[in-house]
Structure 1
Amino acid sequence: MISDVTLSALANWLGSLTMVLIVLYHALSVNAKRNQENAARLANNAQASR
């Protein structure tokens, strides 16, 4: 049987891992949106300069 201490350590570790993954996901999604906007802006500038 799993002890209370082991269970609480596992729960804390999984909770911390979940929070790190959530922050990483949000950081990547925000940067992906900005990268798409910058790519579209650069494409428009390239077409306008021709």
Structure 2
Amino acid sequence: MNKSRTLATMSMLFAVISAMFAASDQRIGAIGFAIAAGLAGLLAGWKHDDD
């Protein structure tokens, strides 16, 4: 599994955890994991010239 695929998988996992926090009305946890999912997704999509 390459770095991009690992980060994409982590992003999906963080999004699911965020949804679980949101469903149980725990806003702080939902916000934290949503931000983590966004950052992991951003890094997963980041293309380097040396790859």
TM-score, scaled to structure 2: 0.47
TM-score, scaled to structure 1: 0.47
Whose radius of gyration is greater, 1 or 2?
Answer: 1
- Which structure is higher in RCO with an 8 Å CA cutoff and minimum separation 6? 2
Structure 1 or 2: larger helix share?
1
